Structure 1
Amino acid sequence: MTPGSKQKQRQTRKLQTIQHGIRLLVRANDGERRPLLKVLLMTYGRVGRKRRELLGPLISARPHQALEEESAGRTAHDEELFNDTGKTAADTLSPSTKPPGAREVNQGSWTYYVPDFTPQLQALLQSQLKHPPPHLTRPLLRRMAPRLEELNSWKRPMPLNRVKNQTKEWYASTLARVHPPLPPQEWYRLRDLASGVQSEPRVSRRKRVGEKALAGEETLLFRLSEPPPTDRSRDAHAITPRYMRRMWATVFAQCPVMEWEGVSEKWKVTWGEHALHGLRRRAKESGEG
């Protein structure tokens, strides 16, 4: 494959990605529920790049990076090599540098292989376990500690390489289930939009230009301006204030906010779903009163 063909393939992939994004925005602008919900979920960090940006500050640096690098050269084969005393190479390490096995990981020594939870992340995970939000985008969080098989199929202790890999898989799976908190200002604004206290200004639609380009023109600008094919089966919906409140409420229910309480000296986590229930309950009580 020549460099020119590789570059053309990259341009084609980028063009397809851009066209897919344009089609998504067009369908969301037409009021289709799934595309519109996806755009809002991306906007408020429930999926996509912004979610990773919101999750980043909650993750700590490696506490035991040096220890793992020290023992990184030992392979699974090395673990099975016995010395004159009948112990494996890993058994001869001092307790401070010896990698923990599956039993030790299950008992809480998993921070040797992966970063420990920061206080913010630990408070968020505990709150998410206690008050699970609607899992429209994230799998349900079931536990905060790994549960590894301690013995292999030969009823021998699980090799350390597998223990390390399984611990990393558990850690990645846990992070994939986290709903990162929104900044307070953004969270309160979304709450007001979902409850109807605040509304977005209506933007008038732009008319599509129906001019045709010259025959044979293949520029990116021309191809990006091609209107998507119409689909009569699409679930288009009029974008009314009531419709948008429901969409914002669906997204807001999955959004927590974290605030530090100086009196109790701990992180307070408030979920959008519970905040909306509280607002509706107070509105109902004030109406009855």
Structure 2
Amino acid sequence: MSRPFRLAKPQNPLHLYRHLLREASYLPPVARPFIEKRIQSRFQKSRKDDEERSAKHIAQAHHDLRLLRAANLGDTARMRRVLLHAFGRLGRRRRELMDRVIHRDVPTETEELQKYAAEASALVTQGSKLDWLDMWDVDKLRTYARSQMQAGLINSPKPTITAFQITPDKVIPTENAWGRPLAPKLYRTKLKNVWKAVADKCMPPLPKEQWEQLRAIATGQAEGNWLPPPRRPVARSLYPDEQTAEWDWQSYAIKPVAVVDRPANRRNKLLSGAVDDNTPTGDPEPLNCHKYTARMWRRLLGGIWQLTATMEKKPGGRGWHITWGKEEFRPAPASAGAMEFFTDFPEPAQPKGGGKAKT
């Protein structure tokens, strides 16, 4: 069982930046690159902010640091959320991966170029202006959304895609409330809202290499050291007596006890690292704190793998080949005492008429 520990609170942005990178180094190697890159890019982007924006970003960084510490100490719910961000199921990376799905590919063949030019000329002939939906590859998005709907994802962070959403003709009415034909502009707005909702529910495909790494870990075929490194011990002072904090009696005098002791609550101990010195039986263990093992890491990453897919174009450029992470069902082998019922078991007799065999 992991125990919370107190570290010195970062006093300046550079100290906070180092703490974030240190906590990111304890994540699994397959999930570490995106988190470290995200921390570095956000720090570099915020270096020239004004005082007001800098204070807001520092407060958010402190929140992220507490979340990473709690996840590394055994909070599996927060660790799963970190992994969802790292593999593009939520957050910024999900939007970056979805751009590859919704945007049209650059035409590489003459037929594709002619088809794209014909569609553009048809829009110009109708006199309508190009909008962001014209830049989307709707056929590709529909194919991927249908594949995700058929995959039946479990514990997805996004709502389920329905069959009516990938067929806007059945969702959008053709007449208004007065029985008149729907205005073209209103129809276009409703059509854009439908495809925007579909794109928001999609779990975008991962690059082939990263998807293969996740599959190897989930199926137990991973080679090398794929587990996170052990946590280094916290440095301790040679003079512990000089660091003993005095009892803050003023807070207990002007605030409720529940408010003062909230950081040391069993639900918040992984976030704050506080120690409860008021419990007669000693400092209680935090709630939802688990010890990470290879089996637990395999189950966590396996659940993420089942929310991912790969998307490759079929030979000839017609259609897409989509593969979702799905673990094969392997029933447990029979015990030694039950094996006697399976040895020398006669094969069922086949009917002569070619019908189904009776069991």
- Is the TM value for this pair above 0.5? yes
Instruction: Indicate yes or no: 2:202 matched with 1:178.
Output: yes
Tell me which residue corresponds to 2:149.
129
- In 2, the alpha carbon distance for the partners of 1:264 and 1:7 equals 50
CA-to-aligned-CA distance 1:118-147 (integer Å, 9 cap, x gap): 664343223223222225212111131221
Contact 2:227 2:294 in 1 (8 A): no
Pair 1:281–1:261, CA change in 2 (3 A)? farther
Q: Cα–Cα, structure 1 residues 7 and 66, in superposed 2: closer, same or farther, change >3 Å?
A: farther
Secondary structure in 1 matching 2:272: coil
Work out the CA distance in 1 between the residues paired with 2:323 and 2:104: 26
In the TM superposition, 1:26-105 aligns within 5 A as 26-61=69-104, 96-97=126-127
How many angstroms apart in 2 are the aligned matches of 1:173 and 1:35?
A: 26
Specify which of 68, 79, 87 is matched with residue 25 of structure 1: 68
User: In structure 2, how many angstroms separate the alpha carbons of the residues matched to 1:201 and 1:129?
Assistant: 32
> What letter is aligned with 2:159?
P
Q: CA deviation at 1:265?
A: 5.3
Shift of 1:65: 7.9
Give the distance between the partners of 1:245 and 1:123, measured in 2 at CA.
30
Measured in 1, the distance between the counterparts of 2:155 and 2:134 equals 25
1:238 aligns with 2:291: yes
Aligned letter for 1:255?
T
Instruction: For structure 2, list consecutive stretches of 5 or more residues without a partner in the other structure.
Output: 1-48, 106-115, 238-242, 244-269, 275-284, 334-338, 340-359
| Residue 268 of structure 1, aligned match among 321, 338, 354 | 321
Aligned partners of 1:19 and 1:228: how far apart in 2? Answer: 11
Judged with a 3 Å threshold, the aligned counterparts in structure 2 of structure 1 residues 202 and 233 are, in CA distance, closer, same or farther, namely: closer
Q: CA deviation at 1:10?
A: 1.3
TM normalised by structure 2 equals 0.54
Distance 1:10-1:234 versus aligned 2 partners, 3 A rule: farther
Change (3 A) 1:15 1:179: same
Tell me the amino acid that sits aligned with residue 76 of structure 2. R
Matched residue of 1:259: which SS? strand
CA distance in 2, matches of 1:186, 1:251: 12
Distance 2:189 2:138 in 1: 21
Instruction: After superposition, give the CA deviation of every residue in 1:60-116 in whole Å (9 maximum; x if it has no partner).
Output: 359778988x8xxxxxxxxxxxxxxxxxxxxxxx7x3369xxxxxxxxxxx995445
Asked whether 1:187 is paired with 2:211, we answer yes
Number of residues paired by the alignment?
Answer: 228
- The offset of 1:282, in angstroms, is 9.6
Q: Which residue in the other structure is 2:301 paired with? A: 248
Q: 1:164 aligns with which of 180, 185, 188?
A: 188
Which amino acid in 2 is paired with 1:244? Answer: W
Measured on the aligned residues, the alpha-carbon RMSD in Å equals 3.6
Asked whether the 8 Å contact 2:312–2:321 carries over to 1, the reply is: yes
1:138-217 matched pairs, under 5 angstroms: 138-143=158-163, 144-146=166-168, 147-198=171-222, 200-209=226-235
Instruction: List alignment gaps of at least 5 residues for structure 1.
Output: 1-5, 71-93, 100-110, 213-226
CA distance in 2, matches of 1:49, 1:150: 36
1:114–1:167 Cα contact (<8 Å) kept: no
Identity %: 24
Could you state the TM-score of these two structures normalised by the residue count of structure 1? 0.66
- 3-state DSSP class of the match of 1:268? strand
Contact 1:152 1:158 in 2 (8 A): yes
Residue aligning to 1:76: none
